[in-house]
Amino acid sequence: MDCASNPSASAGPWDRVLQRLREEIGEEKFTSWFARMDLDALTADVVRLSVPTRFLKSWIQENYLPRITDIWAEETGARRRVDLAVRNAFARPVALKASAPREVVSERTERPVESKPAPRASEARGEVREMVPTGGDVASGSPLDPRLTFESFVVGKSNSLAFAAARKVAETPAGAAPVYNPLYLHAAVGLGKTHLLQAVARAGAAHGRRTTYLTAERFMYGFVSALKSHSAIAFKDTLRTIDTLVIDDLQFLKGNNLQQEFCHTLNALLDGGRQVVLAADCLPGELEHLDERVRSRLAGGLVVELAPLEEDLRLEILKARYQTLAEQHQGFAVPAPVLEFLARSVGQSGRDLDGALNKLLAFNQLTGEPVTLDMAENAVKDLIRPTDPKRVRVDDILRVVAKHYNVSRADLLSQRRTATVVKPRQIAMYLAKTLTLRSLPEIGRRFGGRDHTTVLHAVRKIDGLVATDRALADEIEVLKRLALES
Ligand SMILES: Nc1ncnc2c1ncn2[C@@H]1O[C@H](COP(=O)(O)OP(=O)(O)OP(=O)(O)O)[C@@H](O)[C@H]1O
């Protein structure tokens, strides 16, 4: 049985361990790596620590865990195993949170470096609810990261429409009729949905709107907690009286009761002329776990896609991020060719870019080696995938598939429905979805102006067949390799 004790009782030795670490590595590195580390539990032989991101975990594990283990043993006279986990902001018991004041951040933030503290909610003219999750008053919202604002969002071709719509919604004064309702943003991972949604929440409040930002998980958790504590009515009432409800990661909303509750809340808000802003990783029609009526209500507002960040935009984001890091870390200098190299070679999501710069910073600080192209290539090599899917073009896939099945490219794009053409076409769509970062609507357009649902159907069909048909799975592997090599 796990007999974890409350760590607050043992804060003494832990504080001493932290103090010694601070003295050994210096204040700046200590703040970068350990400011967000918490002591979660202590057992007879394990010290359980947690940090908010995978990046922090792997870095601390690789570089500091043995030292922490040794210091703990020296300070307490007992050697214990030190376990480090990535914490889930929702699952953690409140009693185990660190007592030290911390920046209010989203649980999804992947940056190891703290900047200035979050402004207090009362500073906003309106009311944006921002707090470290407590497990209690969930209707008051998920935490906002003060860095995710419209000002820090870099606009380019791929996201300009989403940015303009989000800004317009946030700047509409309280009481005025909502402009686009609901506003629904969708994109693949790391392309700025959360950034824009949090910017809407923050700016909305500054324009006098009562705004609540919730991740879908938090919405679910809030509702379940409210049911348990018999305060579901109060929970619903709170949500239905705000001006703007912002819900992130809608694809995670699951469960019949919750879905119904979401549906009622959505209808109540929309019918009451309140603004609703949502984001998910797919189109409303692809949220299969949601009721058909909810999907159509979501699709009835403004649906905008954030496309993969183009190279110019990646470079601008890197420059902005670098500027912030350079202000916080004296002596951290990244030459322009290195930023250009990163923009060209690491993935297409904002998270990859953050990760790459954080790695350069860490290497630079921990080894003292200046940032050069050679150093960067080495530091970020695990972020550069040799078979980077972005390099495969839909055209290459069409060519490879047409040749393999002895049909023409025109056949694949045509409306012909004979079996000799339908299956290769579905395979080509499947490859386009798995080997490129194109969205379903984009792929549909590239395949003779087809609807995204046709592409979705093809992808699912081939996915299902691959799971059961070994020969087809092998054939598709060969086609993948041919497309990657072309
Ligand atoms: N246009 C942009 N300008 C500045 N930063 C950006 C931009 N796009 C993405 N980012 C940054 O990239 C990181 C990932 O973005 P974000 O968390 O908003 O992605 P997401 O689309 O919500 O991803 P997920 O689907 O995984 O939730 C964040 O640090 C964000 O600030």
Please state the three-class secondary structure of the chain as a single string. CCCCECHHHHHHHHHHHHHHHHHHHCHHHHHHHHCCCEEEEECCCEEEEEECCHHHHHHHHHHCHHHHHHHHHHHHCCCCEEEEEECCCCCCCHHHCCCCCCCCCCCCCCCCCCCCCCCCHHHCCCEECCCCCCCCCHHHCCCCCCCCCCCCCCCCCCCHHHHHHHHHHHHCCCCCCCCCCCEEEECCCCCCHHHHHHHHHHHHHHCCCEEEEEEHHHHHHHHHHHHHCCCHHHHHHHHHCCCEEEEECHHHCCCHHHHHHHHHHHHHHHHCCCEEEEEECCCHHHCCCCCHHHHHHHHCCEEEECCCCCHHHHHHHHHHHHHHHHHHCCCCCCCHHHHHHHHHHCCCCHHHHHHHHHHHHHHHHHHCCCCCHHHHHHHCHHHCCCCCHHHCCHHHHHHHHHHHHCCCHHHHHCCCCCHHHHHHHHHHHHHHHHHCCCCHHHHHHHCCCCCHHHHHHHHHHHHHHHHHCHHHHHHHHHHHHHHHHC
pLDDT reading at 265 higher than 60: yes
Alpha carbon distance 232, 235 (integer Å): 5
Residue-averaged pLDDT of the chain? 80
For 279, list phi and psi in degrees, rounded to 5: -140, 150
Instruction: Provide the pLDDT for residue 391.
Output: 65
Of residues 36 and 120, which shows the higher confidence score? 36
pLDDT at 130 over 70: no
Is the separation of the CB atoms in 168 and 251 below 8 Å? no
More confident residue, 65 or 44: 65
DSSP for 291-334, please give it: -HHHHHHHHTSEEEEPPPPPHHHHHHHHHHHHHHHHHHSTT---
Mean pLDDT within 428-433: 94
Question: Going by CA atoms, what residue is nearest to atom 5 of ligand 1?
Answer: 153
Ligand 1 binding pocket mutation candidate from 149, 191, 250, 348 (most atoms within 8 A of CB)? 191
Collapsed DSSP state (helix, strand, coil) of residue 352: helix
% residues pLDDT > 70 (the chain): 84
Which pLDDT band holds residue 386 (cuts at 50, 70, 90)? low
For strands 46-51 and 38-42, give the pairing.
antiparallel
CA dist., res. 248 & res. 281, Å (int): 10
Higher pLDDT, 19 or 93: 19
Q: Quick one: CA dihedral 317, 323, 329, 335, positive or negative?
A: positive
Domains 121-305 and 311-383 share a fold: no
pLDDT value at residue 45: 82
The torsion of the CA quartet 179, 185, 191, 197, rounded to 10 degrees, works out to 60
Q: What pLDDT shows up at residue 123?
A: 30
> For residue 385, what pLDDT band results from cuts at 50, 70 and 90?
low
State the pLDDT confidence band at 32, using cuts at 50, 70 and 90: low
Q: Where are the domains of the chain?
A: 7-96, 121-305, 311-383, 390-485
Q: Which amino acid is at 353?
A: L
Homologous superfamily of 121-305: P-loop containing nucleotide triphosphate hydrolases (3.40.50.300)
Ligand 1 atom closest to Cα of residue 187: 21
Q: Is 198 near ligand 1, meaning CB less than 6 Å away?
A: no
Distance CA 54, CA 56 (A): 5
For atom 7 of ligand 1, the residue with the nearest CA is 192
What's the gap in Å between 381 CA and the centre of ligand 1?
21
- The reported pLDDT for the residue numbered 188 is 87
pLDDT beyond 90 at 425: yes
Choose the weakest-confidence range: 235-239, 242-246, 303-307: 235-239
Which residues, at least 6 apart from 473, have a Cβ–Cβ distance to it below 8 Å? Answer: 466, 467
Give me the architecture of the 7-96 domain, per CATH.
Answer: 2-Layer Sandwich (3.30)
Which of 160-164, 296-300, 437-441, 465-469 holds the top average pLDDT?
Answer: 160-164
Q: Which fold has domain 390-485?
A: Chromosomal Replication Initiator Protein Dnaa; Chain: A; (1.10.1750)
Amino acid at 44: A
Verify whether ligand 1 is closer than 6 Å to residue 190 (CB atom). Answer: yes
**Overall CATH class of domain 311-383:** mainly alpha
Q: Which of 177, 333, 421 is nearest to 413 (CA)?
A: 421
What spatial distance separates the first Cα and last Cα of the chain, rounded to whole Å? 56
pLDDT, residue 28, reads 64
Q: Write down the pLDDT at residue 33.
A: 76
Q: What is the pLDDT of residue 219?
A: 83
Annotation-wise, does 347 bind a ligand? Answer: no
CA dihedral 123, 124, 129, 131 (to 10 degrees): -30
Greatest CA separation found in the chain?
Answer: 77
368 is in an annotated binding site: no
Question: In the predicted model, is pLDDT for residue 136 greater than 70?
Answer: no
ipTM confidence: 0.98
Residue written as token pair 């865990």: 65
pLDDT over 90 at 259, yes or no: no
Residue 194 CB less than 6 A away from ligand 1 = yes
Percent of the chain residues topping a pLDDT of 90 = 36
Range in 18-22, 100-104, 308-312 the model is least confident about: 100-104
Facing residues of 24 across strands? none
> Between these two residues, 58 and 402, which has the higher pLDDT value?
402
Q: Is 354 in the pocket of ligand 1 (CB under 6 A)?
A: yes
Question: How buried is residue 188: exposed, middle or buried, by Cβ count under 10 Å (0-12/13-18/19+)?
Answer: middle
**64 has a pLDDT exceeding 90:** no
Residue pLDDT, tens place only, 431-450: 999 888 788 888 999 999 99
Q: How far apart are CA 274 and CA 247, in angstroms?
A: 14
CA of 40 to the centre of ligand 1 (A): 29
**Confidence band, pLDDT 50/70/90 cuts, at residue 417:** very high
